[in-house]
Structure 1
Amino acid sequence: MSLALVRKEWREHRGAWLLLQLLVAAMLLVVWQGQEAFAEQGSFFALLKSPTLLLASGGALFVAHRLIVHEYGQRTQLFLEVLPVSRARVLATKLVLGTAALLPPLVLSLLLLWNQARAHESISGRFVLLLLTRASTPVLLGWCFFALAGLLGRYRNPLYLFLLIALFAADHLTDFDLSRWGPFALLGSDFAFERHRVPWKDLLTCWALSGALVGAGFGLVLYRDGTLAELLSQRMSHREKVFIACLLVGLFVCVATWDEANQRKPFALSEAERAPVKSSSLQVASGVGFPPERARLFAERLAADLGTMSDFLGLEQLPPVAVLPILELDADVFQRAELEKADGVVVRANLAAPDFDPLAFESFLFREVLIEASQGRVLREERQWLLDGFTTWWVNQTGAEPLPARAAVASREDFEEKHWLTTRERLGPCLSGALGARGLQVLRHRLGQSAFQELMRRVLVIPEGTGFWGLWREPRLAELLAHRDGPSVDELAGFWREALRRDREAHTDMLEPLTRLQPTLTLVAESARTFRLEHELRTSTGAPPPPYALLHHELEPFENEVPAHALSRQDVVSGTGARLPLGLSRGARWLFVVQVDSEALGCPIRLLAQRREIR
């Protein structure tokens, strides 16, 4: 920094500096008279937020306009170009002068509040230093931003508009919480009260942004001997104005369309039995074999159970739920309908079937409700076993006798809870839910009821967000368990598998017959490009095998999980095997599942689940 440059800036901007001091004096007077707000704020230092916000926004904008925008707009930087002073030194001098103009009023405000507060509370030097750090960091970040915007010249005002629209869209139309990020978190509700914890994460975020902004500013000034910054300071051409206007209008249209999509009306049936649940309603339609009386009773039952579950998880708002009867589905297959212009959970099931299982349907429905309420955040694969396990465990709390037997059959082969989609496809929804429920029971036993409930609320209801931001901020299961003095993830897996081993020992009579069943799938070429599938179920003892079913589905490119209702079914009664009545083309990818029904378990047992490319 050069003393001559400082004198030059003083002669040029001393009038503006005096005006800034008058504004600062008025601000300090307001702070001095803000003692009446002490009773409401709880601390004198809460009043420091006002000068901090004023200096970080209006003050930084004013200083940047005088030191940078005015310099390039009046072409006085051309005088500096002929002096034996580097451009980097000129910019560094301006940055230091801007900091010197903004920080002293903040420090003075803090000292004034400290003088008032020390008569009412004990104040340590560490606390004052922490307050100064938390208050000055947003001010410096604002100064660095407006300084860089000043170097952008004619594009600074479009930049301001673009950032305002982007921040509004991110805060109101996504799960990004602006109040919990960076400078806004530093000035949060604990600003005047946190005396010990240093918010390093938010401080480092602001410091990194400030460094990046300063680096970008030096890059603009030094690029091609400063010609880029000089070109940006010129007036905007008519073509540029049209382009910027079209860009901002297009951004407004995108945000408005996005907002309209997020404000879709809740789904409602014109004729259905309704039961209130929280602030929403649960609708059950009647149909063939399912009269309105049964629909009303079923709606009341589902609403009561769903309300109890939402109270346990602390769900304040529930999506509208509609249940439609349909005769074309099997009794153990449930389907969720896709809605394009409405919000809610709409499911279809064969409610009139004699073997319809209300508990299995409730488990499916509650799973879909939690997915909708969390906007899909609970579907992250490494935690999806908690979702499946919780909904299965919840509906089977009063009569949990089938769970150990189902878990024993499900665990006859080892599994990996982090790759739950593979486990769910191999076992099916019924057995995979029982497997996850046994893990939930072990976890509940280890944590206790209170900590278990808090963990379920944290995992299933209050995730941090969507996309990369949510994935970055979301605590891992190991952190959540450690915070509640629970077992580690590896220890939990060990306890889980030990419980499953005991289940298998207690239900050997169900496992032994399954070990003797041997399903086979054989591809037979019919031409150079077509094949047929022959399948058979044998027993190692030569005894007649039980009836079985072949489920099949042609996979789309990059298709992940295949829902149960998308699987076509071919039943085989005799043990001689059968042929799939479809031609299979070379290169296509198919999912084949061989399963047998079990009356003792009340759900099908998948003996084989295989994804195969036809070749």
Structure 2
Amino acid sequence: MRRLWTVALKEARQHRWAFLSLAALLLGTLWLLLKVYQAQEESLTPLDALPPFLLLFFPLACLLSSHQLVVSEYAEQTQVFLETLPLRRWEMAAVKYLVGALVLFPVVVLSIAVGAGAAAGSEPIEDRFIGLMLVRGLVYAFFVWSFFFATAFTGRFRMVLYLGALFLLIALTAFTEFDPSEAGPIALVRPDAFAYERHEVPWEELSETLGAALALILLATFLQSFHEGSLAEELSRRMSQKEKAVILWLFLSFGIGVAYFDQQRTRAPFEFTDEHVLYSAAARLEVFYAYEESRKEAESLLRKLESSLVELRQELGWEQLPEARIGVRSSLDGRTFERAEMEENGGLLVRCDFTEPEFDSTAFEAYLVREILDEMSHGRARLEARRWAHDGFSRWWAQGGDGTEVPIRRALWATPEGISEHDLRTWDVFRERHGETVAEAVGYSGFCALERMRGRKAVLDLARELWGREPAPNDARRTFEEWRHPLAHQLEQSTGLDWDEFLGGWNRALAESRRQPAGLPRGTARVREEQGEGSGRDLVYSLKLERPLPAGTPWALVHARLGPFDEELSDADLMREEHLWPAGQPQVEGRLVGRYGRSDRIFVSIEVDSPDLGPIRLLAERRELR
């Protein structure tokens, strides 16, 4: 026993500064977490800070400790000195394990004590509850320290094991019903249980965790003792090029296998579970109407969409339509629609409020057709070079090609100098500048012009050329084919018009309709930044029109914080500062205080809900605040 004590003192002296620094860092981190959670209004108890501390920072401390006690010693070959001492190999491993445990486990105990002390002033803390937290925390710490201690003896393969375990856990969570938060060590300290289960002892989770920790200790003993330690010594050497290649191949094979399995597995489709649902087998369409009072509107919408979608399927030559579901959502207005994120096999789920008196069924039909084209093309219909056709055809199908006044007036408002090839090639920028509704109208005007030049058949021939293939390949073949046959080539193949002839005819059609519609908002919109408090920046926005809008007309600053990359913004990303136009005033101004700071990248737009045209943007830009 004396010799073990001597070796333990040697380890403690050798690593004392590293362990003291680590303990201080852990306790400092815990103190910061407690302060953060105490300052949050949604936090119910200061004990909420303990699970993230144990799940995130304690494993990192165990990783560093195992590297200090095991990995660095084998890398520097200093374990040779210990091998000359009259100690069994398992005794050397036990000493190192206990030295690390005597540093790490008291940190867990102290963190629970500090958390309980912080919570004691605002809630009752019973002795049984403290005991339960100690048991949960220490058994969890026993497992985590055992895991990192055992894997430290795998030397150059330890990082591979960490990544492999992480990827395997992700795969199991994604493809099976396994939930790591419900079993084993994570279940002991999960945020919804650690600070709230105050009486029930989690015997099953405790036994699973203890069993796994003991197995890891046996593994560490085996690795350290096998063939007089030659295995651990061999594993501590640097990885060869061949080993790196094999590991890379294994990870790539695992990733390919997971992707293939994910593609092949059959997911259960989404289903409405409420009884207030109407079905159309011909159009593979369902309408959820929530209340019996809304059934009449739902039936009317279903009839309109059913005939339209069945005809669309026939004209484009599809064998069947994707499953589409429409859900009523009372929080939306009659002109706002949204698509829900679904699993790959879930079909389409779109939401609208078709019970709203101002519900625009034609605009919704265009929206639904656009989403169906997107689904059938695996998202390729939204590629920028072809997206104007995606927007325009959807509206043309729902509206008809008679050049209906409101969409054409929107198009004229957005294209005072005509439409250019640059506008079509950079359609995402055009769409952001003018808004979705106006951009859709411009695309619609192009299909109206095509119908005037070549007839309805030419429009449908172009649509079949663009989206009528079934099944559309969802791989590199489609990319290569689109590169070989750009939109201009497909236009000429299907309609007999070359690109310049089509663009000229489109602009002539716009010129024939061009006029200055009465009541259209024309003017100047500006957004400037001013110094706010500290590093904050205020946005001062103004709008000056040639003629005042009717009193009460809605106008808004639309804004969003941007990430490092220029990605398309969805409606969910945008925030709005709504205002009503004052009577008789040609100019309005507003201020957004303290929302953004210096160096933030933001999107800003000034939007007016025109009585004649609907929502139009008089300014839209991305900028970095100075």
TM-score range, shorter chain: 0.5 to 0.7
Distance 1:518 1:487 in 2: 39
TM-score by length of 2: 0.54
Distance 1:605 1:289, change over 3 A: farther
Question: What are the equivalent positions in structure 2 for 1:217-232 lying under 5 Å apart?
Answer: none
Q: Is the alpha carbon distance of 1:245 and 1:368 closer, same or farther for their aligned partners in structure 2, counting shifts above 3 Å?
A: closer
**Which of 439, 443, 452 matches 1:436?**
443
What is the aligned counterpart of 2:565 among 539, 543, 558? 558
Residues 380/283 of structure 1: CA separation in 2 closer, same or farther (3 Å cut): same
Q: Residue 379 of structure 1: which of 377, 382, 398 is its match?
A: 382
The whole-number CA distance in structure 1 between the counterparts of 2:252 and 2:387 is 41
Residues 547-591 of structure 1, C-alpha deviations (whole Å, 9 max, x = no match): 422222222332422223432222222354222255212222222
SS in 1 for 2:543: strand
Deviation at 1:428, TM superposition (A): 1.5
| Structure 1 match to 2:481 | 473
1:402 Cα shift?
2.5
| Counterpart among 514, 520, 523 of residue 526 in structure 2 | 520
SS at structure 1 position matched to 2:327: strand
CA contact (8 A) 2:388 2:424 kept: yes
TM norm structure 1: 0.55
Q: Counterpart amino acid of 2:280?
A: P
One-letter amino acid of the structure 2 residue matched with residue 580 of structure 1:
L
- After TM superposition, give the deviation of residue 485 of structure 1 in Å: 5.8
* 2:603–2:623 CA contact under 8 A, matched in 1: yes
Report whether the alignment pairs 1:254 with 2:258.
Answer: yes
1:58-207 superposed matches below 5 A: none
For the residue of structure 2 that corresponds to 1:458, the secondary structure is helix
Aligned match of 2:609 in 597, 603, 611?
597
How many angstroms does 1:373 deviate by? Answer: 1.2
Counterpart residue number, 1:408: 412
Distance 1:436 1:247, change over 3 A: closer
Partner of 1:529: 535
User: Mean alpha-carbon deviation: is it higher for 390-399 or for 375-384?
Assistant: 390-399
Gaps spanning 5+ residues in structure 2: where?
A: 1-241
Distance 1:413 1:248, change over 3 A: closer
Structure 2 residue 511 is the aligned partner of structure 1 residue 501: yes
**Counterpart mapping for 1:278-289 below 5 A:** 278=282, 281-287=284-290
What is the one-letter code of the residue matched to 1:606? Answer: R
CA distance in 2, matches of 1:485, 1:363: 23
Q: Which amino acid aligns with 1:597?
A: D
Residue type of the partner of 2:429? T
Corresponding residue number in structure 2 for 1:196: none
**Paired amino acid for 2:267:** R
**Residue 594 to residue 455, structure 1, CA distance change in 2 (3 Å):** same
**Contact 2:491–2:498, Cα closer than 8 Å, also in 1:** yes
Cα displacement string for residues 135-158 of structure 1 (whole angstroms, at most 9, x for unaligned residues): xxxxxxxxxxxxxxxxxxxxxxxx
Tell me how far 1:524 sits from its aligned partner: 0.9
Match of 2:618 in 1: 607
2:457 pairs with one of 450, 457, 461: 450
Say whether the 8 Å CA contact 2:562–2:601 is kept in structure 1.
yes
Aligned to 2:54: none
**Shift of residue 287 of structure 1?**
3.2
* Cα displacement (A) at 1:274: 2.7
Instruction: Give the drift of 1:413.
Output: 5.4
1:264 aligned residue: 267
Whether the 8 Å CA contact 1:277–1:304 is kept in 2: the answer is: no
Contact 1:408 1:500 (C-alpha < 8 Å) held by counterparts = yes
Shift of 1:277: 4.7
Residues 399-449 of structure 1: CA deviation (Å, up to 9, x unaligned): 733232222122125551111111111222221111111111222333333
Q: Letter of the aligned partner of 2:493 in structure 1?
A: H
**How far is the alpha carbon of 1:351 from its aligned partner?**
2.6
Question: Which residue number in structure 2 is paired with residue 311 of structure 1?
Answer: 314
Q: CA deviation at 1:387?
A: 0.8
SS of the residue corresponding to residue 590 of structure 1 reads strand
- Match of 2:331? 328
Query: Tell me, which stretches of 5 or more residues in structure 1 are unaligned?
Result: 1-237
Secondary structure of the corresponding residue to residue 502 of structure 1: helix
* Separation (CA, whole Å) in 1 of partners of 2:271 and 2:446: 37
With over 3 angstroms needed to count, the CA separation of the structure-2 counterparts of 1:327 and 1:289, relative to structure 1, is farther
Residues in 1 aligned to 2:278 and 2:505: alpha-carbon distance in whole angstroms? 43
Q: 2:595 aligns with which of 543, 562, 583?
A: 583
Aligned AA (1:563): S
Would the aligned equivalents of 2:324 and 2:349 in 1 still touch at CA under 8 Å?
yes
SS in 2 for 1:550: strand
1:366 maps to 2:369: yes
Q: Deviations over 1:370-395 (max 9, x none)?
A: 10111112112111111110011111
Tell me the SS of whatever aligns to 1:268. Answer: coil
Residues 335, 565 of structure 1: 8 Å contact kept = no
